């Protein structure tokens, strides 16, 4: 089967969060069988620099009147998975973050940038396209690729089947209704039965409405997003499409995130040889300017800094933990309000150390060196960092929601792998953290819990199998235009 995987970021070319990790690892896992999987993403400067074996592909013309575009054919470093880079310099040749400019605001032409990505992927999904390769299934991810199924719907004919995966429903790709004319979609698409959402254009809604199949990244989140509490206004549509929606739990890249051969940590370790973890903790304490104390329980956090992630809970609870002899090491970047709040916390609480920025290597060292990993997200579609933490024997402290609920079981009752709380409130976070401190004092129970956490099966094989079954079903039930 031929699969085109469309994404706005993919590790190691460019990554801002979990979508980048998934887009780096899932196509690799899918390509391990007989399937021919190719990635399509924008030709950001970082991507052009990092790919291997670049050569010119077919031209795409100027389909949106936003600039000439062409495809560049290349391979992903490491995995060798083929990747098409959509080269439209007017839209993508700019440094920095793929979604926001240096002022922290969305790029003003994001509707054109991601319409271009979607348009290129849709063009490649039509038989007889200039590349000479036509996928059976195009797998779109998040709002940036939400227009792919819309274009294919209106073009009709024997085109690729479409899967749309929601990695985070909160990001809806909302633009003023006036942009519709620039997207190359017919006026009738601007309808409640289409991409209109409360008087605006929503790229996310286009993906949810026009795709043949919908998935999200954990079974619990698949249920949650059909409720008004988690549905971000899309719950009605999601309930209507419940028959087409499944939750497939993400895996993690077990080569990149492996304490037994991680070159970013000082010394490898495993569940039976934990000395390397003790070394990682000591070096992390030194690196983050914390007292080098092997007995002090060390809470770690690596996160995008948005209100989703419950940073306010951490700000409130951290001083209480420090008062009980614990330490806290945080790496994050994102909303200025949270960056400032964490900087202030580090000044007022000497046991808390904060590094503001994006640092792949320090992320590994925190996840390896900490004892407890904090992830008190208000909602969490899947979450990968808690799975990394489990693999590194760093017991996660999580809210019982979305993928956190599907991957971490509370230690209560003598089993389980982490500390789970039910209500997103700082008192609940504090209570879970105090339970963690109590267990930390019981060295035997702690080690047993670590061993359970580290033995969890977290590779991509099961997810890849589920996606393959979904693709197969779609292709078998192929019909002409829906
Ligand atoms: P989300 O996709 O909501 O950001 P996930 O837990 O699914 O959350 O994935 C986050 C990914 O981004 C993980 O690989 C995590 O290690 C990484 N990450 C987040 N913030 C940073 C940071 N400041 N520096 C390095 N890596 C980070």
Same domain flag for 129 and 20? yes
Cα(439) to ligand 1 centroid in Å equals 27
**Taking a C-beta distance cutoff of 8 angstroms, is the pair 339, 357 a contact?**
no
Cα(141) to ligand 1 centroid in Å equals 17
Cα(359) to ligand 1 centroid in Å equals 10
Residues of the domain holding 141: 2-251+461-480
Closest CA to 437 of 388, 374, 379: 374
Structure token pair of residue 82 = 């083929």
Same domain flag for 225 and 282? no
Radius of gyration of the chain (CA): 23
Residue 479 is predicted with a pLDDT of 58
With a 6 A CB cut-off, is 16 part of the ligand 1 pocket? no
With a 6 A CB cut-off, is 360 part of the ligand 1 pocket? yes
Same domain flag for 197 and 60? yes
Nearest CA to ligand 1 atom 22: 358
Provide the CATH number for the domain around residue 20. 3.40.50.2000
Any domain includes 262: no
- Give the helix/strand (H/E) hosting 164: strand 161-166
Same domain flag for 237 and 104? yes
**Given the structure tokens 């998935």, which residue do they identify?**
215
Same domain flag for 89 and 36? yes
Any domain includes 258: no
Question: Measured between alpha carbons, how far is residue 187 from residues 119, 122, 212 in Å?
Answer: 17, 19, 22
Same domain flag for 147 and 6? yes
Residue 70 is predicted with a pLDDT of 98
Any domain includes 141: yes
- Out of 354, 358, 385, 407, mutate this one to test ligand 1's pocket (max ligand atoms within 8 Å of CB): namely 385
Residues 6+ apart with CB under 8 A from 297: 321, 325, 326, 327, 371, 372, 436, 437, 440
**Taking a C-beta distance cutoff of 8 angstroms, is the pair 140, 115 a contact?**
no
Residues of the chain with pLDDT under 50: 480-482
Closest CA to 218 of 171, 161, 170, 165: 165
Question: Measured between alpha carbons, how far is residue 42 from residues 113, 155, 184, 316, 471 in Å?
Answer: 9, 22, 19, 40, 24
Q: At 23, phi and psi to the nearest 5?
A: -70, -20
Same domain flag for 290 and 433? yes
- What is the position in ligand 1's atom list of the atom closest to the CA of 19? 2
With a 6 A CB cut-off, is 303 part of the ligand 1 pocket? yes
With a 6 A CB cut-off, is 302 part of the ligand 1 pocket? yes
d(CA 282, CA 289): 11
Any domain includes 389: yes
Q: At 82, phi and psi to the nearest 5?
A: -65, 140
Any domain includes 267: no
How far apart, in Å, do the first and last CA atoms of the chain sit?
21
d(CA 454, CA 446): 12
With a 6 A CB cut-off, is 384 part of the ligand 1 pocket? yes
Count of beta carbons in the 10 Å neighbourhood of residue 257: 23
3-class secondary structure, 37: strand
Question: Measured between alpha carbons, how far is residue 337 from residues 281, 311, 429 in Å?
Answer: 29, 10, 21
d(CA 420, CA 408): 7
Any domain includes 266: no
- Out of 301, 303, 355, mutate this one to test ligand 1's pocket (max ligand atoms within 8 Å of CB): namely 303
Same domain flag for 403 and 292? yes
Adjacency order of strands within the sheet including 82-87? 52-61, 69-75, 82-87, 36-42, 2-6, 137-141, 161-166, 213-216, 245-247
Same domain flag for 450 and 465? no
3-class secondary structure, 402: helix
- Out of 141, 256, 304, 308, mutate this one to test ligand 1's pocket (max ligand atoms within 8 Å of CB): namely 304
| Maximum distance among all Cα pairs of the chain, rounded to whole angstroms | 67
Same domain flag for 168 and 34? yes
Residues 6+ apart with CB under 8 A from 204: 142, 143, 146, 166, 169, 171, 172, 173, 234
Any domain includes 147: yes
With a 6 A CB cut-off, is 359 part of the ligand 1 pocket? yes
Cα(311) to ligand 1 centroid in Å equals 14
- What is the position in ligand 1's atom list of the atom closest to the CA of 21? 14
Cα(287) to ligand 1 centroid in Å equals 20
Any domain includes 54: yes
CA 33, 36, 40, 43 torsion: positive or negative?
Answer: positive
Cα(180) to ligand 1 centroid in Å equals 33
Same domain flag for 153 and 33? yes
Strand 213-216 to 161-166 pairing? parallel
Same domain flag for 158 and 243? yes
Closest CA to 8 of 71, 97, 129: 97
Number of domains, the chain: 2
With a 6 A CB cut-off, is 331 part of the ligand 1 pocket? yes
């Amino acid at each position: 089967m031929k699969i085109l995987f469309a994404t706005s970021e993919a590790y190691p070319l460019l990554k801002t969060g979990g979508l980048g990790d998934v887009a780096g690892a899932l196509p690799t896992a899918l390509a391990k069988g007989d399937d021919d999987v190719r990635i399509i993403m924008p030709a950001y400067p970082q991507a052009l620099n990092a790919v291997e074996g670049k050569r010119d592909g077919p031209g795409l013309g100027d389909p949106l009147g936003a600039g000439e575009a062409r495809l560049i054919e290349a391979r992903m470093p490491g995995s060798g998975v083929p990747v098409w880079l959509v080269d439209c310099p007017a839209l993508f040749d700019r440094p920095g973050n793929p979604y926001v400019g240096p002022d922290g605001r969305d790029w003003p032409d994001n509707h054109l940038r991601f319409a271009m990505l979607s348009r290129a992927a849709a063009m490649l999904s039509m038989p007889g396209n200039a590349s000479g390769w036509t996928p059976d299934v195009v797998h779109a991810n998040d709002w940036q690729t939400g227009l792919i199924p819309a274009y294919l719907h209106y073009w009709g004919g024997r085109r690729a089947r479409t899967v749309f995966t929601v990695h985070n429903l909160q990001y809806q790709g909302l633009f003023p209704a006036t942009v519709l004319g620039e997207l190359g979609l017919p006026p009738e698409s601007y309808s409640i039965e289409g991409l209109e959402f409360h008087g605006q254009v929503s790229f996310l809604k286009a993906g949810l409405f026009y795709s043949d199949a919908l998935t999200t990244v954990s079974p619990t989140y698949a249920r949650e997003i059909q409720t008004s509490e988690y549905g971000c206004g899309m719950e009605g549509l999601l309930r209507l499409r419940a028959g087409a929606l499944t939750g497939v739990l993400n895996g993690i890249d077990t080569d990149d995130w492996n304490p037994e051969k991680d070159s970013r940590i000082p010394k490898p370790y495993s569940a039976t040889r934990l000395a390397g973890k003790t070394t990682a903790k000591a070096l992390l304490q030194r690196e983050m300017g914390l007292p080098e104390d092997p007995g002090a329980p060390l809470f770690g956090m690596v996160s995008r800094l948005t209100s989703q992630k419950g940073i306010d809970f951490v700000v409130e609870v951290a001083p209480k933990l420090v008062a009980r002899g614990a330490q806290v090491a945080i790496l994050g970047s994102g909303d200025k309000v949270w960056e400032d709040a964490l900087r202030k916390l580090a000044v007022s609480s000497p046991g808390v150390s904060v590094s503001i920025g994006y640092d792949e290597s320090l992320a590994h060292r925190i996840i390896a060196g900490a004892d407890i990993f904090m992830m008190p997200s208000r909602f969490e579609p899947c979450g990968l960092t808690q799975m990394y933490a489990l693999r590194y024997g760093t017991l996660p402290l999580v809210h019982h929601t979305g993928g956190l609920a599907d991957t971490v079981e509370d230690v209560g009752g003598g089993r389980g792998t982490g500390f789970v709380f039910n209500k997103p409130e700082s008192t609940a976070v504090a209570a879970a953290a105090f339970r963690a401190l109590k267990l930390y004092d019981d060295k035997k129970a702690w080690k047993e819990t670590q061993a359970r956490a580290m033995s969890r099966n977290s590779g991509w094989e099961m997810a890849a199998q589920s996606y393959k079954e979904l693709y197969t079903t779609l292709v078998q039930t192929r019909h002409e235009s829906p």
